[in-house]
A and B are shown apart, each in its own frame.
Chain A
Amino acid sequence: MSTQVFWPNDLLTAYKIKNKNFLVLGTHFKKVSYVVFNILEYSAKDYAEHGLGTHNNFLELKINNHDISIIGYFGEQPPDGKELLKFELSGNQIISYGSLIVIYQPPVPQKMQFISKDPISISISARDSTNLESDPKFTELLKGHVSPREPSPQEQSLEMAIEMMNECWNIRNSLVKRYPDIQKSWEYSSIRNMYLTKLSQYQSHFTNHFNRCVAIPLTKIILYTYITIRHFSLTIIKILNKKVSDDLPSLIELSATAQQIDLRLQQFCHFPIQFIRTMRGSHESLSLQIEQFSEYIRLYNTLWLIINDVTIGVAIGAFLIENQQMISSAFEEYIVSKILFSDLNNISIWLMNSPGGVKLNNELSAFLSDLFRWIILFWKLSLIDPISPFFKHIVYILGISSTFGATLSIAIFSDFLSVITFHIYCFYCGSARIFNWQLNILLSLFHLFCGQKRNILRNRIDSNDYELDQILLGTLLFTVLVFLLPTVLAFYLTFAITELTIMLVTGIMELVMSLLNHFPIFILLLRLKDCKRIPGGLKFITENDYIKLKTEPLTIVQMFIPFTNVLKKLKKSYISTNTLKNIVTGHPIHVQRNKLYKLLYSALPLSPISTSNLLKEVKNIA
């Protein structure tokens, strides 16, 4: 079994000059896999005089319980170096007998890069744990059929090796700090760095003064004001989520506006915690640092989206306020008066007079049609006529509210639509109920018609001897209901289609809202800018005769996982046989918008973090 050596790619060409001796610094795991950080030139003469000399001290440097030590050499073998790996140059390629050299690119922690076996978690893990449910089940099933294989020592140490690779630059920096005269063999140094260090010195001088006089008292004031506001918003969140009883929906479930306000407040309450988490210094352990990188991505994604939202909102708001008169009159004329009033009226009159040649029962269709037209009239007189003079103001409110984000005005508009189409919803539910009852009665009377009866004890259909009076009455009712079914069906279908159209419109609005609220724009741009910040897994490839460890960036599909989940749920609740069955049997269909939408709250914890915890975190950083 050969050993594995992970070699940084910036040390590949650093010592083209042959006939020189180099020491290779790195760490090893049970002498099976090695991670190289740095190489040092040494002369045999010095070595003979001082032994390893100062270099011995590298052994003091410990990171994650792994010693940094000399693991190999180029050229002459140093004394006491029998156990060290011997590296050679073959042509331009570094080789070492009995070991496999794998090239890796040291990730730069300052640039928030890192290597990771698993994809970076863009969402908070507790939320999407449900998505992975199917996978473990499958592996559980496989387990019985596959004999367990002990992972090889290289595989076992891969995770630790990845950890050390992530630490590469930290180790190099601490080496340089401790031994200022150490050679920097990597191709990194430039003149710019010198200026930058100078600059940072001045900067720190200035910030010191600034902190003492202005920043600290100001921060305290801001902190306590913030905590007061936060308490206030936590109360609002609680009110919005409050359920009066188990049967009644909470405000969030009812209204898109409440949903939007809840989202913004939760984000507001979560910001400082996210911010504090991104502020953790580099002295923290690596796993926390990586957690911090993804927190950083989440925070700035949210911030960016809010800024976008507000920008779009201001534009829309300006447009709305400028064309207030035109929009409100167009809305009243086309949507309210035409579609919602006269068109519906015409449809119900059409239904009354054998629609499309289908002969409905005159009396029943006249009754239903009259009932519906009466409801429309009532709705118009009691709701639309009083508020129609205020349409202008409603448009104005929409315009003002879009200053807080386009999503808010969309949410308000969606709620407004739901309110002014409430009569259709009522009639839809009513006709669905009637249709459902009629179907059920017809089914049991059909059993009677065939001389059968449902046996609920055994859940089957038994034959049954009915009395003559039961037969006569049952068949009488059965025939009547069969003849009335097409009429009820025609009304039910018309209102089901109308209601589904309204649901579709509000659904599209909510989709736009969710895109504005949760689009992974920051991650998409990171993918373009620096894909090492969003690792989605590892890949071993061959390149220039070396085996190279390559970080695969997160795929587009992975970035949109919350969205694909929402789309799947939407598909399940709108376009499925179950829905069709519900429509056919007359069960009203509901979409649990709240549950669906919660999937997208992936950048937020399930419940807001308490103030005491927040203060603790603030103290930690101060």
Chain B
Amino acid sequence: MNRRARAAPWRKLLYIQQPYPDNYTDQSFLSQLKRNSTVEKYSYWKLIKDFSLISLHLSIITIVHIIFFGIYKYNWDETIPASIASFMSVLLYGLYTRYEDIQGQRPSNFKSSTFIMLSILTLSPVLKSLSESTSSDSIWTLSIWLCLINLILTNYQFDISKSQLLNNFNPIFATNILIANVIVLASRLTTTTQVFCFILFAFEIHGLFPFFDFWLRLNFINVHWILLWSLLLITTISIYKMGGILFLAIWLTVHFSIVILSPIYFLTLQKYKDELQGPWDPAKPIVN
């Protein structure tokens, strides 16, 4: 290599004939590389806030199952939870429309909710007999799997915009799996009234509650926290009453690990984050 060639600086331009070998890599080659430019440093409290939503969702699912077992095993009056949930739904809906100033939607919402209620009423004899010949164990297994899939797929984003609220915030598939779970459970009940009341209750809890909760988070964050704590309290007490100390221990451990331990683990994982950015287009792997 002669001196004149050394003198000419290497430039990152392919179309120029340069006196360097093909496999030559200059010192300046990666000078524009940036690392972790968009990575956000999370605070522990924010993470706890986010993770609490998982806990809330878990509580909701548990409440539905508690009500189911109450009706199925302990012959609870099925009309009480359904009436309470319906009353609460109407109340919250009234508040929501008043606050958001969208009273114009009321007739169509009323129509569709009536329609759904009537169709549940019509189908409840069919639903009652749906899985009659199937054994209970397979139904419980199916239900557990459906709940697990739903837990994985649900959207646990804490802060959402208003436009997200009006559109679908949760993946449709996740909601559908919960509904299917409810129907599968309902098919084990013995009377048509039980089926109807349970499905109505579960639809209100699974369909409407997340929506109201989003609305509350957006506007009255404190009400959300009160609601969360009261729900947790109710479920914890019910689990203790129905399952005893063992179930309570499991339940509390699960919540503790979700809300307290998981954020710590998440923070420890963050140091491994290594995101590269530069003036080039990142190559996208094509997987067929």
Please give the residue numbers on chain A whose beta carbons come within 8 Å of chain B beta carbons, in ascending order: 354, 359-363, 448-451, 465-469, 471-476, 478-480, 483-484
Assembled-state Cα–Cα distance A473/B130 (Å):
16
Check A469 against B113 for contact (C-beta < 8 Å): yes
Distance between Cα atoms of A479 and B120 in the complex (Å): 13
A476 in contact with B132 (CB, 8 Å):
no
B288 within 8 A of A: no
Q: What 10 pairs across the A-B complex have the smallest Cβ distances?
A: A451-B172, A469-B112, A359-B133, A475-B179, A479-B183, A483-B130, A475-B176, A449-B176, A363-B129, A479-B180
- Quick one: CB contact mask for B271-288 with A, threshold 8 Å, 1 for yes? 000000000000000000
Q: How far apart sit A472 and B109, CA to CA, in the bound complex (Å)?
A: 14
Please give me the residue from chain B that is nearest to A466 by CB atom: B172
Minimum CB–CB distance from B257 to chain A (whole Å) comes to 31
Give chain B residues whose Cβ lies under 8 Å from the Cβ of A473: 115-116, 119
Q: Which B residues are closer than 8 A to A by beta carbons? A: 112-113, 115-116, 119-120, 123, 126-127, 129-134, 167-168, 171-173, 175-176, 179-180, 183-184, 187, 203, 207-208, 211
Chain B residue numbers with a CB within 8 Å of A451 are 171-173, 176
Indicate if the CB atoms of B120 and A361 lie closer than 8 Å.
no
Which chain A residues lie closer than 8 Å to B130 at the CB level? 361, 479-480, 483-484
Total A-B residue contacts, Cβ distance less than 8 Å: 78
Q: How far, in Å, is A100 (CB) from chain B's closest CB?
A: 63
In the bound complex, what is the Cα–Cα distance between A484 and B183 (angstroms)?
A: 13
Q: CB-nearest residue of chain A relative to B181?
A: A479
| Cross-chain contact B116 with A480 (CB below 8 angstroms) | no
Cα–Cα distance between A142 and B168 once the two chains are bound (Å): 60
A468→B134 CA distance, assembly (Å): 30
Contact B134 A469 (CB under 8 A): no
Q: What residue in chain B is nearest A365 (Cβ atoms)?
A: B133
Q: List chain A residues, Cβ under 8 A from B134.
A: 359
Residue numbers in A under 8 Å from B187 (CB-CB): 483
Q: Is the CB of A362 within 8 A of B183?
A: no
The contact sample of 6 A-B pairs, CB cut-off 8 A, is A467-B112, A473-B119, A479-B130, A479-B179, A479-B180, A480-B127
The answer to whether residues A471 and B175 also contact, given A360-B133, A465-B167, A480-B130 and a CB cut-off of 8 A, is: yes
Report the bound CA distance from A474 to B130 in whole Å: 17
B179→A472 contact, CB < 8 A = yes
Q: Which residues of B contact A448 (CB under 8 A)?
A: 172, 176
> Are the CB atoms of A471 and B116 closer together than 8 Å?
no
**What separation, in Å, do the CA atoms of A479 and B127 have in the docked complex?**
9
B179 CB contacts on chain A under 8 angstroms: 471-472, 475-476, 479
> Separation in Å of the A482 CB from the closest CB of chain B?
8
Determine whether the beta carbon of A480 is less than 8 Å from that of B183.
Answer: yes
A483: B residues at CB distance < 8 A: 130-131, 187
Query: Which of A465, A478, A479, A480 gathers the greatest number of chain B CB atoms within 10 Å?
Result: A479
A362 to chain B, nearest CB (A): 5
Question: In whole Å, how far is B86's beta carbon from the nearest beta carbon of chain A?
Answer: 15
- On whether the beta carbons of B168 and A469 are closer than 8 Å, the reply is no
B129 — which chain A residues lie within 8 A by C-beta? 361-363
Chain B CB within 10 Å, residue with most, of A354, A469, A478, A480: A469
Is the Cβ of B120 less than 8 Å from the Cβ of A469? no
Kindly state the separation between the CA atoms of A361 and B128 in the bound complex, as whole angstroms.
Answer: 11
With both beta carbons as reference points, the residue of chain B lying nearest to A364 in the complex is identified as B129
Q: CA separation between A471 and B123, bound complex, in Å?
A: 16
| Whole-angstrom distance between the Cβ of B188 and the nearest chain A Cβ | 12
Q: A472 near B133 (CB under 8 angstroms)?
A: no
Indicate if the CB atoms of A475 and B207 lie closer than 8 Å: no
Q: Which residues of A contact B180 (CB under 8 A)?
A: 449, 475, 478-479
A interface secondary structure, majority = helix
Q: Measured between C-beta atoms, what is the minimum distance from B175 to chain A in Å?
A: 6
What is the bound-complex CA distance between A360 and B130, given in angstroms? 9
Please tell me if the beta carbons of A472 and B183 are within 8 angstroms of each other in the complex. no
Indicate if the CB atoms of A476 and B133 lie closer than 8 Å.
no
Q: Which residues of chain A are near B167, meaning CB under 8 Å?
A: 465
Query: Inside 8 A of B208's CB, which chain A residues have their CB?
Result: 468
Complex Cα–Cα for A465 and B175 (A): 12
Task: Give Cα A473 to B184, complex, Å.
Answer: 15
Contact of A480 among B123, B168, B171 (CB under 8 A): B123
Expressed in whole angstroms, the minimum distance between the Cβ of A237 and any Cβ of chain B is 55
How far apart are the CA atoms of A469 and B168 in the complex, in Å? Answer: 12
* Contact A361 to B132, CB < 8 A, known contacts A469-B112, A471-B179: yes
Query: How far, in angstroms, from A235 to B235 measured CA to CA in the complex?
Result: 87
Distance A475 CA – B172 CA, assembled complex (angstroms): 11
Contact B133 A450 (CB under 8 A): no
Known A475-B179, A479-B180, A480-B183: A450·B173 in contact at CB below 8 Å: yes
Between A360, A472, A473, the greatest number of chain B beta carbons within 10 A of the residue's beta carbon is seen for A472
In the complex, what residues of B have CB within 8 A of residue A475's CB? 176, 179-180, 183
Asked whether, in the complex, the Cβ of A476 is within 8 Å of the Cβ of B119, the reply is yes
Q: What's the Cα separation between A449 and B120 when bound, in Å?
A: 18
Contact of A476 (CB < 8 Å), options: B113, B123, B168, B175: B123
> From A449, which residue of chain B is reached at the shortest CB distance?
B176
- Determine if A469 and B173 form an interchain contact, defined as CB atoms under 8 angstroms apart: no
Contact check: which of B127, B132, B173 meets A362 at CB < 8 Å? B132
The minimal Cβ–Cβ distance linking A441 to chain B, given in whole angstroms, is 14
**10 more CB-based (< 8 A) A-B contacts, given A449-B172, A480-B126:** A361-B133, A363-B126, A451-B172, A451-B173, A465-B167, A466-B172, A467-B112, A471-B175, A480-B127, A483-B187
- How far, in whole Å, are A584 and B37 apart by their CA atoms in the complex? 55
Q: A479–B131 Cα gap in the complex (Å)?
A: 11
Closest Cβ–Cβ distance, residue A370 to chain B (whole Å): 15
Distance (whole angstroms) from the CB of B204 to the closest CB of chain A: 10
Asked if A472 and B127 make an inter-chain contact with CB atoms under 8 angstroms apart, the answer reads no
Q: How far is the CB of A480 from chain B (nearest CB, A)?
A: 6
Residues of A with C-beta under 8 A to B175: 471
Q: Would you call B115 and A471 a contact (CB within 8 A)? A: no
A473, B171: Cα distance in complex, Å: 17
CB distance from A477 to the nearest CB of B (A): 8
Residue in chain A with minimal CB distance to B172: A451
Indicate if the CB atoms of B183 and A471 lie closer than 8 Å. no
Contact B116 A450 (CB under 8 A): no
Take A354-B133, A360-B133, A362-B129 as given contacts and tell me if A471 and B120 are in contact as well, using a CB distance cutoff of 8 Å.
Answer: no
Residues in B neighbouring A354, C-beta threshold 8 A: 133
Q: Are B133 and A469 in contact (CB under 8 A)?
A: no
A466 to B168, CA, bound (A): 8
Q: How far is the CA of A467 from the CA of B111 in the complex (A)?
A: 13
Cα A475 to Cα B206 in complex, Å, equals 13
Nearest residue in A to B175 (C-beta to C-beta)? A471
Rounded to whole angstroms, the CA-CA distance of A465 and B173 in the bound complex is 11
| CA distance in complex: A473, B120 (Å) | 8
